[in-house]
Amino acid sequence: MPQPFFRTDSVTDGLQGGYTGFRTESGPGSIDSFFPGSVFRKERNAGDGVQVFIMTIFVASDIHGSASSCASMIEAFHREQADRMILLGDLLYHGPRNDLPEGYDPKKVIDLLNGLDTPVYCVRGNCEAEVDQMVLNFPVMADYALFPYGDRMVFVTHGHVFNNGHLPPLRKGDILLHGHTHLPAWEEHEDYWYLNPGSASIPKNGTPKGYMLLDGKNVIWKTLEGEEYHRICLG
Ligand SMILES: [Fe+2]
């Protein structure tokens, strides 16, 4: 059976840095046999009989009820052929501090998100009300989530509770990932990285509506139209 791994620099796959994914022997009994229709469909030929399957994670935040932005975001998710979607909260309501975003239609956003044929992982924003969980078919009330990324831990949250001014438990090199500010961020602090995809619908300070990708090594920021405007390597 394929074994999960969370770093590859000790594996003879010729790749540098940390990757999150699965590896398996090539040939008969390939990954598709183990995971029919697998999301682990990306591979690199390592030349030593080991195939590496890398998951692309799509991250977006602060849709704030804009159906048009939500539709563009979903289009981007499919265009990127991403494997998982993480939303950082503030899905349905515009919020009292914001003007109504273009295409404001929370009911349509509900339909769009519930209609996704991919798992959606979401944390609770400061605009989420309990009724939101009654109308959305994926969990939206978690204060935070964690996942390993290479040899780092990613702490996922909305940002109104845990942020640079109030850090969650982190170890050196870990990643604090949140939305809330509507400002994209890729800040390297002494002990951690702070990353933010910006807002998909109400960007601030002249930043673009956009999203973020984690491809196992790089973190990439793109506009909703798919234009890359920043990239860092965390390998
Ligand atoms: Fe927000």
| pLDDT tens digits for range 207-224 | 999 999 998 889 999 999
Q: Is the pLDDT assigned to residue 86 strictly greater than 50? A: yes
How far away, in angstroms, is 109 Cα from ligand 1 center?
Answer: 15
Q: Which CATH class is domain 54-233?
A: alpha beta
Q: Which two tokens stand for residue 49?
A: 């009989």
- Considering the chain, what is the average pLDDT of its residues? 84
Domain residue extents for the chain:
54-233
pTM (2 decimals)?
0.81
How far away, in angstroms, is 20 Cα from ligand 1 center?
Answer: 29
Considering only CA atoms, which of 93, 104, 100, 142 is closest in space to residue 120? 142
Considering only CA atoms, which of 84, 128, 125 is closest in space to residue 106? 128
Measured from the Cβ of residue 137, the count of other Cβ atoms closer than 10 Å reads 12
Q: Residue 183 and residue 149: Cα distance in Å, rounded?
A: 23
Q: Residue 42 and residue 167: Cα distance in Å, rounded?
A: 34
Q: Residue 156 and residue 147: Cα distance in Å, rounded?
A: 8
| pLDDT tens digits for range 156-183 | 999 999 999 999 999 999 999 999 999 9
Q: What percentage of the chain exceeds 90 in pLDDT?
A: 71
How far away, in angstroms, is 3 Cα from ligand 1 center?
Answer: 38
How far away, in angstroms, is 59 Cα from ligand 1 center?
Answer: 14
